[in-house]
């Protein structure tokens, strides 16, 4: 299920206020899992990246993907930490 930019904009505003995905999901209609993904994206690429979700597919260099994947596979970082550190907007490239 897709959610409109207005929902993501409101979620970004609440994230900026310090709310986590659970409270934001409770205040809004999207499922908690969707809001959790939004929070991961927000932490990694900020509100602009969150608002651009679905408009364009992000492209990452081979080196960046390898560095981020090594950090996760080597146990140095969790997937979410690597998203934040390397600016990767989605967990997908790091879950492979």
- Asked, for residue 40, whether it belongs to a domain, the answer is yes
Give the total number of structural domains in the chain.
Answer: 2
Same domain, 12 and 44: yes
Same domain, 13 and 47: yes
Per-residue pLDDT of the chain (96 residues; tens, 9 = 90+): 467 889 999 999 999 999 999 999 999 988 999 999 999 999 988 998 888 877 767 778 889 989 999 999 999 999 989 988 998 888 887 876
Same domain, 47 and 10: yes
**Contact at 8 Å (CB) between 82 and 66?**
no
R_g (Cα) of the chain, nearest Å? 14
Same domain, 31 and 69: no
- Asked, for residue 39, whether it belongs to a domain, the answer is yes
pLDDT at 1: 46
Same domain, 35 and 73: no
**Residue ranges in the chain assigned as alpha helix (H):** 5-16, 21-27, 32-51, 62-73, 79-86, 92-95
pLDDT at 92: 81
Domain range for residue 24? Answer: 5-51
Same domain, 89 and 67: yes
Cα distance between residue 90 and residue 88, in whole Å? 6
- Taking alpha carbons only, the member of 87, 95, 1 closest to residue 50 is 87
- Asked, for residue 56, whether it belongs to a domain, the answer is no
Exposed/middle/buried for residue 35 (C-beta within 10 Å: 0-12, 13-18, 19+): buried
pLDDT at 96: 63
């Amino acid at each position: 299920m897709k959610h409109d930019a207005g929902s993501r904009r409101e979620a970004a505003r609440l994230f900026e206020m310090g709310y986590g995905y659970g409270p934001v999901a409770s205040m809004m209609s999207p499922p908690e899992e969707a809001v959790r993904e939004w929070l991961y994206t927000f932490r990694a690429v900020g509100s602009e990246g969150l608002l651009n979700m679905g408009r364009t597919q992000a492209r990452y260099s081979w080196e960046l993907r390898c560095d981020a994947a090594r950090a996760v596979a080597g146990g140095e970082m969790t997937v979410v930490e690597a998203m934040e550190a390397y600016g990767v907007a989605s967990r997908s490239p790091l879950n492979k």
